[in-house]
Amino acid sequence: MNKYTLGMIGLGTMGRNLLLNMADNGFSVTGYDKSADMLKKLEEDGKAHQLKGFADLSDFVQSLELPRRIVLLVPAGKIVDSVIEELLPLLDKGDLIIDSGNSHFTDTTRRSLELADQGIHFFGMGISGGEEGARFGPSMMPGGDKKAYEAVKPILEAVSAKVNGDPCVTYIGPGASGHFVKMVHNGIEYSMMQILAETYDLLKNSLGYNNEQIYSVFEKWNEGRLKSFLLEVTRDVFKVKDEKTGGYLIDVIKDEAKSKGTGKWTSQVSMDLQLPIPTINESVSARDLSKFKTLRVELSEALPHVKEAIDNKEEFEVQLEQAVYFAMITSYAQGLHLLSQASKEYKYELNLQEISQIWRGGCIIRAVLLEDIYQAYKKQTDLPHLYADAGIQKQLQEIIPGTRNVVITAIKHGVAMPCFASALTYYDSLRTANSPLNLTQAQRDFFGAHTFERTDSEGIFHADWN
């Protein structure tokens, strides 16, 4: 029997589409799933390549060529451990397991160490792009055992998205770096989605635009520097009609946002690393606050706000585009700054030039802006912060006045702008040479003898404040 080059465990939408993508690119692949329906679906969708799957795990493992290459696309958490536990007795030393789910990076670290002790190669690989990306070209972030990566590099490069001929996949680094980078990618995604939600709020409730007008604004912006997958998706939301009411679907969707936790993970680890990402954090908080619907309705009636009119809507619309662009730059800047800190702390050896390069296509946060970001890190690989790039600085200087006016206007109107406001405050904090935190150190030393440093001499000091 001819052996398969790669096997997929988990034939849901993502796993099945990724297998079909591999088959389209000429690779001999198969899959395993406990569900007969999933196996049937694989066979139906893969008729052109005569794709077949296995219902028996042992038969599946034996069908793979050595060393075995096995990709897991199952829900993160205990299920991953359970599948690995079932697999281990059937594997040989030198075989490779790739976890492509949204696993927490600490779980990936643990699994890689445990499997290395048993002679099994392992790495975590973040995949972005949704089901369409998996089918026609995702962005992939593999990290861990470099030798193991080389065994699947030709497959991954073939099936990934391409930008200017470059595959949107690269070896990220050792350990759990792949899943860490995907986690931060998701944090940036949270932030970008919230920025667009706040933009919608201003367009609808401050400018009084209807859904058709909002669609037109987003369509116009998507033809310029804001062109991105998320803006394109957001634009298209405003043209979908509701079959039940005949009106627009967006108008009957309840304003309580759900999440799967990856944004929260990004915020948590930023606190651990003491690397601020306030705009990403605010996007996580916004989803959490949305869940208090009853309270929000009650307070909207008890604490009303009289809105002021916007005199020049066309001028404000131009400034709003600038504010969106500024907030998007800042979201990427915070995520990449967190990656640079994590690289030092966890010894991930991250290459921000390559990471921004593979994010240009296939993934959810792909945008034309990433080309500028990629060029910034290509020009200076040790760039301390995206704001430090001369090209980015020029853009910031041009759009800051408009951004300030948008935030001021939103505050006057009583419209919550957590991401816009935090992005602007973050910018102002970073460009402040002398912050007021000398007072914080004085306070800490006054009541807790926590000491302080001086500006005029070296050393650690404590004052007798009384």
Active-site residue (options: 189, 282, 317, 354): 189
Q: Which residue has the tokens 């007795």?
A: 89
Of 43, 182, 264, 315, the catalytic one is 182
Burial class (CB in 10 A: 0-12, 13-18, 19+), 191: buried
Question: CA-to-CA distance for 301 and 304, rounded, in angstroms?
Answer: 6
Q: How many CB atoms lie within 10 A of CB 460?
A: 8
CA-nearest of 73, 40, 33, 71 to 54 is 33
Question: What is the Cα 126 distance to its own chain's centre?
Answer: 10
Tokens of 106: 């600490």
Q: What whole-number distance in Å separates Cα of residue 197 and Cα of residue 190? A: 11
Question: What is the Cα–Cα distance from 332 to 347, expressed in whole angstroms?
Answer: 21
Token output for 135:
């089918």
Task: Look up 78 and say whether it is catalytic.
Answer: no
Residue 182 designated active-site: yes
Q: List, by residue number, the catalytic residues.
A: 182, 189
